[in-house]
Chain A
């Protein structure tokens, strides 16, 4: 099974500043999908951003962008102009394009946003 590693259990950022959350993964596949999900205290997982492995261009969604380094198997999330509402657990996830249906999640990074 593919392993997803988030090496930062907790991160802190000041409001309006930029923060980067790290994610690495282990796979022998060439085609796959990567995701970042946000989980606030309400427990509902919310999709933040998605990347297709065969696309070299990094995905961007408003204040959220990724740095996808396929050779390094790295998929970091950058949050610009951080807002108090960004405080949550953030999970990186991997999905194979060819085998299985499951999302493999990392253990998560808790993001604290300070005023």
Chain B
């Protein structure tokens, strides 16, 4: 596609519910990144994929967070048993290389846990 597509754009979840956020990167982009952006803050790194391999998951805040990219294209970020502190915008980005030239970001999914 022309850009990085994320869905849904908005998600409201009840505390304790599981959610799945989807990212469709630019076709042919090897690298895929997930970031979490809390209100009034800059984005914080969650995880990085090179093709289907998850090379860095050091930013995932707890074992309730899980990401996958099984065929090296579309990625899903799953959050189990959501908590109020999980409320944030989740941004996905992709790049042709390892990201040294910058990424192309999607418009994010705003998750609100009530």
Interface residues of A (CB under 8 A from B): 4, 33, 35, 37, 42-47, 50, 91, 93, 95, 97, 100-108
Interface residues of B (CB under 8 A from A): 31, 33, 35, 40-45, 48, 55-56, 58-59, 89, 91, 93, 98-108, 110
Instruction: Check A35–B42 contact: CB distance below 8 A.
Output: no
| A52 to B62 CA separation, bound complex (whole angstroms) | 33
Partner of A100, one of B56, B101, B104: B56
Given A33-B100, A95-B100, A97-B100, A43:B107 Cβ within 8 A: yes
Instruction: Check A102–B45 contact: CB distance below 8 A.
Output: yes
| A103 to B55 CA separation, bound complex (whole angstroms) | 15
Please provide the 5 A-B residue pairs with the shortest distance between their CB atoms, ordered closest to farther: A105-B42, A102-B45, A45-B105, A47-B102, A101-B48
